[in-house]
Amino acid sequence: MTAHVPTMFLAIILVGGVLSLSVGVVADRSQRDGMPYWAVGLMLHSVAYILFSQRGQTADFASIVVANSLIACALATFTEGLYVFYRCKPSRWLIWLPIGLVFFSFMALLDQLGLRIIVGSTVFVAQCLLILHFMWGKRLQTAGRGKYFLAGGVIVMTAMLMVRVFGAASGATSSMLSLKDSNLIQTLTFLGALVALLLLSFGFVLMSKERSDQLNQVLATSDELTGLANRRRLNEVLVVETARAQRSGHALGLAMIDIDQFKDYNDHYGHQAGDDCLKQVALAIAGAAQRAGDLAARYGGEEFVLILPDADANAARRVAEGLRQSIEALALHHVRSPSGRVTISIGVAALASGGPTDPESLLHAADTALYRAKNEGRNQVQVAPDASGAAAESAPVSTKLVQLVWRTAFESGNPVIDTQHRALFADANKLLGAMLEDQQKDVVAALVEAFIADVVQHFREEEAIITRAGFPGAAGHASLHQALIEKASTLASHFRAGNLSIGEMFEYLAHDVVARHMLIVDHEFFPYLRART
């Protein structure tokens, strides 16, 4: 079965043109989704096939050299659009170099059809493989099914080009390779081009739509200023977690947080400074929500809430106290505060027999405890009385309680630092899990030594990176590193002596290294790293 060449040319030109106009009409540059590039790429593809269709009726330079260069340009434009979609800085020499290769090689091989097809198709295949390689690296960042359609289109195009390469390499006749004659190779070429166009366009538009839907969902459940969950999301999760805790008999803790004398802070420093303060506090609160099930939310104004599944009142109090210390350690100046810095007050409550048993009463109990914390001098944690009885104290410690979960909000943008931070999260989880499961001392000792070694190595490399980035506080940051290393050595000595408690190790890993240092202090140099990317 062979295709009628003029009909196939017309179909590809019309489909490409219609798709280009359709994508161009819906494209919005402000969305930064790469669709304008896609519309241009589709149009370049259509123009290339218009020139192909004029083979023999116009100069070979236009129908061969320019037409194939436009195909390379279309693929480069598609690639550029993908980089824009993923907000990545493109390697432009790698993207646009193939156009020059095609142009000059086709000029040199104008009278050698077989070699011309092999060289040109090989370059086009390399461009397709670049797209597939980039998409594979970003596969986890892409929600939905659009990526599969797009990748499918690239694969079809690659297969079509490989057919032409093998045909030319195997010595197929000029009539079989020529775009003017109807034959099996040309039928596969045209059908592949048509299917690829449809898959590429549908896939990219679907990817853009799916990302917009995902963004809308995030915006509907996230606080615009702080990025934490909003009140709506908080209510939904609290209802679900309360029901789950009641069914399973597991604990559920809740901490209500209020920034002390925030109105005075706004009045003195201005609303812009107030917003910046809210963002920094919110970042610390997000860092306290370390496990997969934890939720940090903005309750309203300067009030926040932490939902802590599988945490009784005592465990929730420890998390709250670590958070309180972390905010105090930020040392945000507040001249109208008795301490001279921004502080928070926290009320803690938990589901308990004789105490809160539903979402409303749990919130009310935490709010009452918060009110007491503020009345008794602020900058403290208070626990709702009905949630701190013997049942909470006798509850068994769960490994899940102290699992640390890496979140994209913690990323600095530097691949070395982010990779090492994730590795330290993994080290901490292994060590804490081993200690809570009462594994043999030599197993725990090996994990302790491995964790400390990783911390020391990370600190050295981080210091070198932030110094090169021009971070003015690099020397002071190195001093903080030294203090943390010395504490690590002290803890290791205590462990070897047999008197290291789980609480001490948890305080060091989850509070000093993660919540305070990695998730708060390190953010001071993030802008300097991002400025160099």
Q: Supply the pLDDT for residue 278.
A: 95
Q: Supply the pLDDT for residue 387.
A: 42
Q: Supply the pLDDT for residue 444.
A: 72
Same CATH topology for 222-396 and 397-533: the answer is no
**Structure letter (DSSP) for residue 66:** I
Per-block mean pLDDT, blocks of 10 residues, the chain (533 long): 74 91 80 86 94 86 93 95 87 91 93 88 94 88 86 93 84 58 72 89 88 74 88 91 88 95 93 94 89 88 94 90 90 89 95 75 92 91 67 39 65 86 80 67 76 86 90 87 83 72 63 73 82 63
289 beta partners: none
Architecture (CATH level 2) of domain 397-533: Up-down Bundle (1.20)
- Contacts of residue 14, defined as CB under 8 A and 6 or more positions apart, other chains included, come to none
Q: How distant is the alpha carbon of residue 238 from its chain centre?
A: 25
Contact 525, 418 (CB under 8 A): no
Burial of 504 (0-12, 13-18, 19+ CB in 10 A): middle
What's the one-letter identity of residue 330? L
CATH T-level fold of 222-396:
Alpha-Beta Plaits (3.30.70)
Whether the full predicted model's pTM is greater than 0.75, yes or no, is no
Q: Supply the pLDDT for residue 338.
A: 85
Q: Supply the pLDDT for residue 51.
A: 92
Q: How distant is the alpha carbon of residue 432 from its chain centre?
A: 26
The DSSP element (H or E) to which 295 belongs, if any, is: strand 295-300
341 beta partners: 333
In the chain, where the domains are located: 5-220, 222-396, 397-533
